[in-house]
């Protein structure tokens, strides 16, 4: 059985005190209210990883994730953070290939291939993001774009490594726009991703991979999205900054 996951991507938001307040609210709410088996992942900005990790206090339902890592193990890369550094402060997951990083930091599939390798080597679980722009969807290129992103950025890993990877389908036109993909649109792409996994690896790998949806998910639409057969949870941006909304999404299975 594949895992259900709801991951919160805090992006470049919150000060230290605000981050502490948010994590303690989420810990309390999840502790008191969440009975399902969904795994929760919090992805705060780098400077808050240690303190957020401490606040989780070994809580078995909530895990720590980062929003990026560098592809090299160590060295003269001023301002960068390696996968091993993340691992050493208790990080378990790392978001890679988010569309904002592809767009604003020129991350392409070749670079992401190296980042995925670095993350896996350090023992982190990559949450590998893929998704099409509105223009690409309108030109009927969605499946082609998804296939290329998977092939070039992810499918170089071995079967064994692939078993540790989580995929997030995030249509760019739905991220932070308030425009959610319909559950039908999301399901269609998730099913396609699973087909690609089966083709490249095997049916067992396809069946066991957790595939998250991301893009303006909120407490009002999460239940419908998560009820789709190939949607195993969500990568949540805006709504993860509010403890009530985020917890309600975690409860939406
Ligand atoms: C995201 O950035 O991963 C995301 C899904 O953002 P939002 O939920 O705000 O659309």
* Token couple for 213: 């949806």
Residue 209: other Cβ atoms inside 10 A: 22
* Token couple for 85: 């550094």
Write down the mean pLDDT value for the chain.
96
Ligand 1 within 6 A of CB of 179: no
Ligand 1 center to residue 218 CA distance, Å?
Answer: 10
List, by residue number, the catalytic residues. Answer: 98, 170
* Token couple for 193: 């991703």
Whole-model pTM: value is 0.97
ipTM of the complex: 0.97
**Is 243 assigned to a binding site?**
no
pLDDT (0 to 100) of residue 190? 98
pLDDT (0 to 100) of residue 57? 87
In the predicted model, is pLDDT for residue 82 greater than 90?
Answer: yes
Q: What is the DSSP letter of 46?
A: G
pLDDT (0 to 100) of residue 246? 98
pLDDT (0 to 100) of residue 37? 86
> How is domain 5-250 classified at the CATH fold level?
TIM Barrel (3.20.20)
The model's pLDDT over 189-242, given as tens digits with 9 standing for 90+, comes to 999 999 999 999 999 999 999 999 999 999 999 999 999 999 999 999 999 999
pLDDT (0 to 100) of residue 236? 98
Measuring CA to CA, how many Å separate 186 from each of 16, 63, 139, 226? Answer: 35, 25, 17, 10
Average pLDDT over residues 154-174: 97
Contacts of 44 (CB under 8 A, 6+ apart): 10, 14, 19, 23, 52
């Amino acid at each position: 059985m594949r895992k259900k996951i709801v991951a919160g991507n805090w992006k470049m938001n919150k000060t230290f005190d605000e981050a502490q307040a948010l994590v303690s609210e989420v810990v309390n709410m999840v502790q008191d209210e969440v009975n399902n088996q969904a795994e929760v992942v919090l992805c705060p900005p780098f400077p808050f990883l240690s303190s957020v990790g401490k606040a989780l206090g070994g809580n078995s339902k909530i895990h720590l994730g980062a929003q990026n890592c560098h592809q090299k193990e160590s060295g003269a890369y001023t301002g960068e953070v390696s996968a091993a550094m993340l691992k050493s402060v208790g990080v378990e997951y790392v978001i890679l290939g988010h569309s904002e990083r592809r767009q604003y930091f020129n991350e392409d599939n070749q670079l992401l291939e190296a980042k995925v390798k670095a993350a896996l080597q350090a023992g982190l679980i990559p949450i590998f993001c893929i998704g099409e722009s509105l223009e690409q969807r309108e030109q009927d290129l969605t499946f082609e774009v998804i296939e290329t992103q998977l092939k070039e950025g992810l499918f170089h890993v071995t079967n064994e490594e692939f078993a540790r990877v989580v995929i997030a389908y995030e249509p760019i036109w739905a991220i932070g726009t308030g425009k959610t993909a319909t559950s039908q649109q999301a399901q269609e792409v998730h099913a396609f991703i699973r087909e690609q996994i089966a083709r490249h690896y095997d049916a067992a790998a396809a069946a066991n991979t957790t595939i998250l949806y991301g893009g303006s998910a909120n407490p009002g639409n999460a239940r419908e999205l998560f009820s789709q057969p190939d949607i195993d949870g969500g990568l949540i941006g805006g709504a993860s900054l509010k403890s009530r909304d985020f917890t309600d999404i975690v409860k939406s299975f």
